[in-house]
Amino acid sequence: MGAVTQVVSPTDGILSHTRLTHTLEVSQIGRRIAERLNREEESKVKKVGGIDPDIVETAALIHDLGHPPFGHAVEKELDRLVIAAGVADGFEGNPQSFRIVTKLATRNAKISGLNLTRATLNASLKYPWTRATSGYRKRKWGAYGTEKKEFDWARGLHDPGDESRSVEAELMDWADDVAYAVHDVEDFYRVGLIPLDRLSSDREEVKRFVRTAVRYLTDEPHYQSQELRETIDALVEAFVRVVEPIPVLEPYRGTRRQRAGLRAFTAYWINTYVNAVTLVPDESAGSRVKISDAARDQVDILKQLTRFYVITNPALETQQYGQRRVVRDLFRIYEDALDSNSDTGVFPLSHREDIEAANGDEEAIRILADLISSMTEPQLLRTHQRLIGIAPGSVTDVI
């Protein structure tokens, strides 16, 4: 995970969070929230059935295991390729994480997966349903059909038909949002992509950003029931409240004063969002975890900063075009090897046995997706270059 993209590739030459550092931060924030609730809301914790900080932390460590090299652009490309190859479940990082801990990871030769507790598996399910054919649940879901048995066992803690998340899963999800929102903004201000200095003083730039951000946010379930005008007003106010206290008056130069100010900014808002969580024991209220409206709006708008200034940047988009092409080429090479049934030597030893023993085409395609998504980014590029003959490497290389 240390060589897998969070937003930009760790090989890009800038110091930014990777999937590994992001995951560690999520686990720390999630544990802090769980421990605070156990300490400050003891009676409510008992009414919701208890909160185990170890489970929250473990779920956070699981949540991005299935994230493929080069981030969401490749995730979407793999989904398209797997569906086109005849596997309707496609590919997505969350069900891939569940597949890894229940089936692919090896702890004992006689047991599939990591043999985790039911509560831990349930807490890892940010999206506790299988894939739908339309809408939000077609984009985000928790388990493939190949892990339906394990999914049903994990969800056995809930009544049949109940698709609510466990309390620990909700805390992990909020910790994920907080880490992503705060630390990515810090990263990309430091490298000059997010102009915090301008945003803290230029209201017109804030409005320009928020108008675009709202178009993305209205696709999210939380905002779909709100009037657009109310959404814009609330998010402008939320954003101004976050950026106005920022001790940033100029582009980042790395001075001691700037480093200290930026660290104070991130520490303050993470602490604020850790304390923005309370419990609602009444199950009729829906979610048993309540995030203050102000905190929810602030985190959502901070996440959009990265999308607006970084993800839609042509420099990143052209990179992602090439990354998708590499994955597409590699998938087709492996798929052709399956069809010919004579070139299985192109598969690494770590997956060759499983591919040769696959029960039908769908299982073989799923294993291809496992293989590609498990690679680090340098490994993926080297494998691609080797197989297309650009950099054939050495016969002494371990494959």
Task: Find the domain containing 240 and state its range.
Answer: 177-314
Distance CA 208, CA 222 (A): 22
Residues 32 and 103 in one domain: yes
Whether 4 is in a domain gets the answer no
In a domain, 395, yes or no: no
Question: Does residue 122 sit in the same domain as residue 61?
Answer: yes
Note whether 324 and 228 are same-domain residues. no
User: Is 165 among the domain residues?
Assistant: no
pLDDT at 106: 86
Q: Are residues 335 and 230 in the same domain?
A: no
* Domain limit, last residue, from 269, 285, 314: 314
At 9 the pLDDT is 45
Does 126 lie in the same domain as 55? Answer: yes
Domain end: 314, 349, 370, which one?
314
What pLDDT does 139 receive? Answer: 93
Q: Is residue 164 part of a domain?
A: no
Q: Is residue 78 part of a domain?
A: no
* 88-to-67, 103, 363, 382 alpha-carbon distances in Å: 19, 20, 12, 30
Q: Residues 184, 309: one domain?
A: yes
Long-range Cβ pairs for the range 260-263 (8 Å, 24+): 262/186, 262/189, 262/190
Same domain flag for 305 and 322 = no
Q: Is 399 a domain residue?
A: no
On whether both 149 and 186 belong to a single domain, the answer is: no
The CATH number assigned to the domain holding 61 equals: 1.10.3210.10
What integer pLDDT is reported at residue 10 of this predicted model? 46
In this prediction, residue 58 carries a pLDDT of 98
- The per-residue pLDDT for 2 is 41
Is there a domain that residue 347 lies in?
A: yes
Looking at the structure, tell me whether residues 243 and 130 fall in a common domain. Answer: no
Same domain, 284 and 365: no
State the Cα–Cα distance between residues 226 and 204, nearest whole angstrom.
Answer: 24
Q: Are residues 281 and 211 in the same domain?
A: yes
Judgement on whether residues 135 and 248 belong to the same structural domain of the protein? no
SS3 string of 40-102? HCHHHHHHCCCCCHHHHHHHHHHCCCCCCCCCHHHHHHHHHHHHHCCCCCCCCHHHHHHHHHH
Domain count, the chain: 3
Of 282, 314, 346, which closes a domain? 314
In a domain, 361, yes or no: yes
Q: Which pLDDT belongs to residue 17?
A: 59
pLDDT of residue 392: 74
Question: In tens digits, what is the pLDDT along the chain, a chain of 399 residues?
Answer: 444 444 444 444 444 557 788 899 999 999 999 999 999 999 999 999 999 999 999 999 999 999 999 888 899 999 999 999 999 999 999 999 999 999 999 888 888 899 999 999 999 999 999 999 998 899 999 999 999 999 999 999 898 888 999 999 999 999 999 999 998 888 888 888 888 888 877 878 887 888 788 777 766 655 555 555 566 677 777 777 777 666 666 888 888 888 888 888 889 989 999 999 999 987 665 679 999 988 988 898 888 888 888 887 788 788 889 999 999 999 999 999 888 766 778 888 888 888 888 888 999 999 999 999 999 888 999 999 999 888 776 655 666
